[in-house]
Structure 1
Amino acid sequence: MDNVSFFTFAGLIVFAVVFSTVKAVKNRSKNTVSGFFLANRSNGFLLVGASLYFSNISANQFIGENESVFINNMSVIGWGVTSVFAMLIVSEYFVPIYLKTGISTIPDFLEKRYDAGTKNLVSIVFLFSYILSLLPTVLYGGAVAFNSLFHISERLQIGHWEGLWLTVWFIGLIGLIYSVLGGLRAINISDIILTSGLFVLMIVLPYYGLKYLGEGSFMSGVHILLHEKAAHLNAIGGPDDAIPFSTLFTGMIIVNLYYWGMEQYIVQQILAGKSLQDSQKGIALTCGAKLLSPLLINIPGLIAVHLYTDLPNSSAVFPTLAKDVLPAVMAGLTAAVLFGAALNTFNAGLNGASSLFVFNIFRPYTLKRKGSVDEKEILRAGKLFQICVALLAMCIAPFILFSEKGFYFYIQKVSGIFSVPIFTIIFIGFFKTRIPALAAKIAVIFFIICYVLSQFILDLDIHFLHALAIIFLVTTLLMFLIGRIKPMEQSYVLIMDNKVDIKPWANRWYWYLILIVLMVCVYIVFSPLGIA
């Protein structure tokens, strides 16, 4: 990458970091616990939508999904496109419950619904998932992309392993400083800046990629894409594809409901909304962005199928295409968006992990021991925890290189250990009001043991998403059985403690319908009924 690209990249990153941090400091949102972790619950729908989207989009998707399309087909869009349906369920049913109860973290709800023991257990599960899964994979994906674009190892004349360590720590340390200085407000403001760049790339990269494929003619490139190697255009996955179509109706819906409705660092963006209406509008905005995302996280992989036949490392598909087809300024913008995506997801994860620690572990322990705790003490503990977690994640991230079946395998399978057991007890807790805390605790432990056995010890010939769904059903039945034998003496009743206006968005149903129709249309287009 030449000097123009590098200076474009550096200028955009410096602008986003400095502008967002200055704005956050000016608003003094970082000086209070609510401000640092929840942006004072003052975000409008644009901030909610942008922060939700950019907290979700990381270098992992640019790298992993384009690689999957390159070596397989478009079935991998199931992760993003079908998340629209899950997000709308979250918007309509989950978010009103969270805002009515006035919670700051997901375990807060579990304490209200079950007991403090369940809250503590789930807080520990969350923290393990962040330390072992989310934060290391975000750093690793960002490092792979950054190294591929700027050829760090070659420029410094060091090995790939050493270059990986260097870039992981570079991203991690910048992210850590940024998160500690600015808090959630700074992260949200930079999300809007970087999302703008992302939408520019959604148009620019496919255009230049198809023009390059057509040897100077955009329409020739489109013709080649649609008529040669058409099997790669199919999103209706078969049994041997990355995402079999049947999994969309089993484990996929469970994972997406958990991610958008119960993952702390994602829900934290929703809880930062200044009203239920703003949170629901922000979620709808994110849905629209997710439907456009294949332009950037899947279509480049399709174009690359026709351009590269001997890539030594298929994970380099996206950065290689961007480097080959884009003008220097646009290549710099791509590097900035990739770096920003890794940085902001890492920061959001740090902020989410820290909020779990201070709200659910540090503050209750300190109150019990000392009888009081002030905001400065909580903030100091939260920032120190961020530093510890970040350093640990930076130490773990490079070793993902040695994952037996690769980076994508690590992300998908390891996250399942932590996500679905939490989903199970929260989901059942929403609708079954006499299931006791004992059932929730047993369910979490039972699910984790069964999933680890099925995916990492026993050789079961079943897709991991189907396995998640089966274990979810068995765990649910176990909770029902315990609830039947030893139900709560009194049914759970939601107690109103809202911190913001909980009047719902009046016109939401019209937009929900439009989004669902568009989701189905995307699948029809990338199917044998469409262009496949």
Structure 2
Amino acid sequence: MGLSYADLLVIALYSLLMIVIGWRLKKSISSQEDYFMGGRRFGKLLQVFAMFGSGTSTEEPVGTARNSFTGGLSGIWTALNYLFVTPFYWFIGVWYRRFRYITLGDFFAERYQSRSLAAAYAVFSILFFVAWLSVSFSAASKTITAITPKAESVLSAPEQTELARFRHLRELESRDYSGLSETERVKLQDLRQAAPRGRFSYLSEVQITWFIGLIVLIYSWAGGLKAAYLADFIQGLFIILLSFIMLPFGLWQIAGSHGLGGLLEGFRALHQKVPQEMFDILGSPTAGDFTWYYLCAVTAINLIGIVVMPHLIVVGGGSARDELTARIGIVFGHYIKRFLTILWALAGLIALALYAGQLDDPDLVWGFMARNLLGPVGSGLIGVMICALMAALMSTASCYILCAGSLIVRNLYNLMRPGLSEAHYVLAGRLAGALTITGSILFANYYQDVFGQLKFAWEMPVIFASTVWVAMYWRRATTAGAWVSVGFTAFAFFILPAFLPLAVPGLRTDERFLTVTRTEQVVRTYAAREFDVREREKKIEQWESGKSRGAAMGEKPAPLGLGETIEVWSKPPSKAIFWTRGVALQRGILRGEGFFNPDMLLFQWLGLDLESLPNPLVETLRLPLRIFLPLLLMIVLSLFTAPVEEEVLRRFYARMKTPVNPDPEKDRQEVERSCREPERSDNQKLFPGTRLEFTRWTRTDLFGFIGSLLCAGLVIATTLFIAGLGSGN
């Protein structure tokens, strides 16, 4: 299998422990609130690790390492794009606890008095969970297969045939397309569509996904949220271990020595072996998409969308004992993840220094590193790494399937079969969770494109986001306004871009929509490092090889020594304006790939020269419409449609202004009193006597928010510090 007995023993013990946790807690489940919310009795430590575990899945360490391997340290922003949203969790955690709901679908049923809107949200949530979990399953299975590779000598006949096709594909791709014959061009297209593998494993991705999914299902089915939280605590420790375990071995290998001195020397050698621009966290020529204005737009859309993440009402505060626990859990659980993200990015740079040119698929970086750095050490370390990867996936999956079960039961199934026993609904929730994880595995095994799945899942929350934000701060928000906002957002930003190319196939080859940005060359001046010397030597070899064939172009490059001042010219790749996956040449014809961006037609109509804009600005232009248009529609339509009944609003906002009491009975009494005496909370309103529901900040609000902002700054400072280690600057 490619694993030692020690590795197999570690994996078996870890899997058994997760199952035992679930079945030991099975007897404590007697109601929906016990199964889906754990009785709302969790303290700070478990809330922190539950938030950390559910918010950290396999695709994040694997994806961050991949992005820093291909694009440098600025690739960290694919995982840190929620960094400046995190301080706002200090307030959002209180919302989730004061809701006192089991699902966010209950919010739509009560605030808007619309069970159909709650059902629509439940359907959206299931799609959200399936999309996100499929990303995690794909990332985990790809990485684990990379850890257990087959040697070429033991490949089966079909695998050897596939490997030969893969090598033929790489050979054709390495040649100038204009020099290919028509037969070779057709062959290239056929091979790209077939996507033959270049690496093979003792384990199949299908086997891995079903194995992990089965373990998650067993302990979540039995123990509900209590089992998931206890498992999350253990899995959180494994995720932390995953983030650290390979780094010293990688730095020691780069340095050629061990101990603390070897680590410091490893950082110095890292700066010699990796291009200087790969240490920029913003705006490097090779990864210039992450500019300050793009990050501002991403922060805004993430802040808008975060409130409707369907699992956050549970791990984000709804299951906490009290409000302070909810705040601490959601904020510090995320900050653990933010700091570990720095280590994941560092792992990608170490991989670049060690394995540049050796990997055909950058998605395999993490697994390739684990095999090469931990495999020779033995002692079950490969098994520990596989358990850590499983933990990152399982901690997220258990939370998601429990939330999916609660949404299906409370906001869909309960509509069809109301008034049944608690035991019946708990069983229905278990079955719904099983269906969700099965759908995720099937989608992952069918699609198997980690970042294609991730892009699909990123922007989904904006569909319902405006309905929550407007309702939280404005009593006039109406059910009709919510329906129109949801329908328009889903159609304009998700359905239309996907189906327009299917309805009008000529769009993909229409010259008007095949435009790309005109990027400019960028020059950087710095002292030459080992990487630059090696690159110059390669160019000299290529020139001499060309000369021997009579094909040398220009003057022979001059030799380069360490420390010499050099100028490095680079040109960022052009970006397609109307197509999400770019423009590609297929059988000699340019075609748009992916979804169509109809919103770019608006900017073109306004007279913007889109081709002359920088790549990050083109990407940024897509986001303001998704942020503001649903909010604007919601507000305008609410002014002209029938409001929700005043009694419903009075009870909803009275509950939201009533602090949570850890004692359930006392808390119920306080809420009832607030509903009878809504004037007792009038002093909390920032604009008394109006329909606006903004509240005054307390000292806890103010100091907690400032502290959270300082933590965000500390993450940036730590990233810059680690990027500078060994640079000599």
Equivalent pair of 1:42/1:272 in contact (CA under 8 Å): yes
For residues 385 and 374 of structure 1, the distance between their equivalents in structure 2, rounded to whole angstroms, comes to: 17
Report the counterpart of residue 20 of structure 1 in structure 2: 21
User: Aligned in 2, Cα 1:118/1:495: closer, same or farther, shift over 3 Å?
Assistant: farther
For 1:387-424, what per-residue CA distance to the aligned partner results, in whole angstroms no more than 9, with x for missing partners? 222222222211223xxxx42132123442x3111222
Name the aligned partner's letter for residue 491 of structure 2.
I
For residues 139 and 85 of structure 1, the distance between their equivalents in structure 2, rounded to whole angstroms, comes to: 28
Uncovered stretches (5+) of structure 1, i.e. residues with no partner: none
For residues 214-363 of structure 1, the aligned pairs below 5 Å read 214-216=255-257, 217-227=262-272, 228-237=274-283, 241=288, 243-255=290-302, 258-259=305-306, 261-269=307-315, 270-308=317-355, 309-326=357-374, 327-328=377-378, 329-363=380-414
For residues 407 and 623 of structure 2, the distance between their equivalents in structure 1, rounded to whole angstroms, comes to: 25
3-state SS of 2:320 partner = coil
Name the aligned partner's letter for residue 634 of structure 2.
M
Equivalent pair of 1:82/1:248 in contact (CA under 8 Å): yes
For 1:365-401, what per-residue CA distance to the aligned partner results, in whole angstroms no more than 9, with x for missing partners? 322xxxx221111011111212222222222211223
* TM-score for both structures, normalised by structure 1: 0.88
For residues 112 and 310 of structure 2, the distance between their equivalents in structure 1, rounded to whole angstroms, comes to: 18
Q: How much does 1:230 deviate?
A: 2.2
Q: How much does 1:220 deviate?
A: 2.1
From 434, 453, 469, the counterpart of 2:476 = 434
Report the counterpart of residue 384 of structure 1 in structure 2: 431
From 92, 111, 114, the counterpart of 2:112 = 114
Equivalent pair of 1:233/1:527 in contact (CA under 8 Å): yes
Report the counterpart of residue 147 of structure 2 in structure 1: 149
Name the aligned partner's letter for residue 67 of structure 1.
R
Name the aligned partner's letter for residue 286 of structure 1.
G
Name the aligned partner's letter for residue 453 of structure 2.
Y
User: Aligned in 2, Cα 1:457/1:338: closer, same or farther, shift over 3 Å?
Assistant: same
Report the counterpart of residue 174 of structure 1 in structure 2: 215
Equivalent pair of 1:143/1:171 in contact (CA under 8 Å): no
Q: Which has the higher helix share?
A: 1
For residues 90 and 295 of structure 1, the distance between their equivalents in structure 2, rounded to whole angstroms, comes to: 21
For residues 140 and 156 of structure 1, the distance between their equivalents in structure 2, rounded to whole angstroms, comes to: 23
Q: How much does 1:426 deviate?
A: 1.1
From 218, 222, 227, the counterpart of 1:186 = 227
For residues 151 and 625 of structure 2, the distance between their equivalents in structure 1, rounded to whole angstroms, comes to: 44
From 451, 463, 467, the counterpart of 2:622 = 467
For residues 145 and 351 of structure 2, the distance between their equivalents in structure 1, rounded to whole angstroms, comes to: 19
User: Aligned in 2, Cα 1:82/1:441: closer, same or farther, shift over 3 Å?
Assistant: same
Report the counterpart of residue 28 of structure 2 in structure 1: 29
Report the counterpart of residue 40 of structure 1 in structure 2: 39
Once the two structures are overlaid, the 10-residue window that deviates more, 225-234 or 236-245, is 236-245
Report the counterpart of residue 366 of structure 1 in structure 2: 417
For residues 137 and 291 of structure 1, the distance between their equivalents in structure 2, rounded to whole angstroms, comes to: 20
For residues 510 and 387 of structure 1, the distance between their equivalents in structure 2, rounded to whole angstroms, comes to: 42
Report the counterpart of residue 64 of structure 2 in structure 1: 65
3-state SS of 1:271 partner = coil
For residues 305 and 153 of structure 1, the distance between their equivalents in structure 2, rounded to whole angstroms, comes to: 23
For residues 20 and 233 of structure 1, the distance between their equivalents in structure 2, rounded to whole angstroms, comes to: 43
User: Aligned in 2, Cα 1:226/1:257: closer, same or farther, shift over 3 Å?
Assistant: farther
For residues 237 and 723 of structure 2, the distance between their equivalents in structure 1, rounded to whole angstroms, comes to: 30
Once the two structures are overlaid, the 10-residue window that deviates more, 162-171 or 107-116, is 162-171
Equivalent pair of 2:216/2:398 in contact (CA under 8 Å): yes
1:451 matched to 2:606: no
Equivalent pair of 2:59/2:136 in contact (CA under 8 Å): yes
Name the aligned partner's letter for residue 475 of structure 1.
P
Name the aligned partner's letter for residue 214 of structure 2.
L
1:412 matched to 2:455: yes
Q: How much does 1:39 deviate?
A: 1.2
Q: How much does 1:53 deviate?
A: 0.8
For residues 433 and 427 of structure 2, the distance between their equivalents in structure 1, rounded to whole angstroms, comes to: 10
Over the aligned positions, Cα root-mean-square deviation in angstroms equals: 3.1
For residues 214 and 303 of structure 2, the distance between their equivalents in structure 1, rounded to whole angstroms, comes to: 30
User: Aligned in 2, Cα 1:174/1:15: closer, same or farther, shift over 3 Å?
Assistant: closer
Report the counterpart of residue 486 of structure 1 in structure 2: 641
Equivalent pair of 1:30/1:36 in contact (CA under 8 Å): yes
Equivalent pair of 2:55/2:334 in contact (CA under 8 Å): no
For residues 34 and 343 of structure 2, the distance between their equivalents in structure 1, rounded to whole angstroms, comes to: 33
For residues 446 and 334 of structure 1, the distance between their equivalents in structure 2, rounded to whole angstroms, comes to: 45
Q: How much does 1:209 deviate?
A: 1.3
Q: How much does 1:105 deviate?
A: 1.0
Equivalent pair of 1:451/1:468 in contact (CA under 8 Å): no
1:95 matched to 2:93: yes
User: Aligned in 2, Cα 1:424/1:224: closer, same or farther, shift over 3 Å?
Assistant: farther
* Higher-RCO chain (CA-CA 8 Å, sequence separation at least 6): 1
What percent of counterpart residues are identical? Answer: 18
1:425 matched to 2:467: yes
For residues 129 and 709 of structure 2, the distance between their equivalents in structure 1, rounded to whole angstroms, comes to: 34
Equivalent pair of 1:251/1:469 in contact (CA under 8 Å): no
User: Aligned in 2, Cα 1:135/1:163: closer, same or farther, shift over 3 Å?
Assistant: same
Equivalent pair of 2:146/2:371 in contact (CA under 8 Å): no
Equivalent pair of 1:304/1:317 in contact (CA under 8 Å): yes
Uncovered stretches (5+) of structure 2, i.e. residues with no partner: 160-199, 498-579, 581-594, 601-609, 611-616, 668-697
Equivalent pair of 2:96/2:313 in contact (CA under 8 Å): no
Q: How much does 1:200 deviate?
A: 3.1
Name the aligned partner's letter for residue 310 of structure 1.
Q
Number of aligned residue pairs: give it.
518
Q: How much does 1:222 deviate?
A: 0.5
For 1:138-193, what per-residue CA distance to the aligned partner results, in whole angstroms no more than 9, with x for missing partners? 22122112222233899896866992222222222222222212211111111111
Name the aligned partner's letter for residue 312 of structure 2.
I
Q: How much does 1:79 deviate?
A: 4.2
Equivalent pair of 2:41/2:319 in contact (CA under 8 Å): yes
User: Aligned in 2, Cα 1:525/1:44: closer, same or farther, shift over 3 Å?
Assistant: same
* TM-score for both structures, normalised by structure 2: 0.65
User: Aligned in 2, Cα 1:356/1:313: closer, same or farther, shift over 3 Å?
Assistant: same
From 205, 212, 215, the counterpart of 2:253 = 212
Q: How much does 1:466 deviate?
A: 4.6
Q: How much does 1:127 deviate?
A: 1.6
3-state SS of 2:655 partner = coil
Report the counterpart of residue 165 of structure 1 in structure 2: 206
For residues 111 and 414 of structure 1, the distance between their equivalents in structure 2, rounded to whole angstroms, comes to: 25
Name the aligned partner's letter for residue 512 of structure 1.
S
For residues 43 and 718 of structure 2, the distance between their equivalents in structure 1, rounded to whole angstroms, comes to: 29
For residues 416 and 338 of structure 2, the distance between their equivalents in structure 1, rounded to whole angstroms, comes to: 44
For residues 463 and 184 of structure 1, the distance between their equivalents in structure 2, rounded to whole angstroms, comes to: 43
Equivalent pair of 1:81/1:290 in contact (CA under 8 Å): no
For residues 470 and 400 of structure 2, the distance between their equivalents in structure 1, rounded to whole angstroms, comes to: 26
User: Aligned in 2, Cα 1:267/1:293: closer, same or farther, shift over 3 Å?
Assistant: farther
From 131, 134, 142, the counterpart of 2:132 = 134
3-state SS of 1:434 partner = coil
Q: How much does 1:49 deviate?
A: 0.8
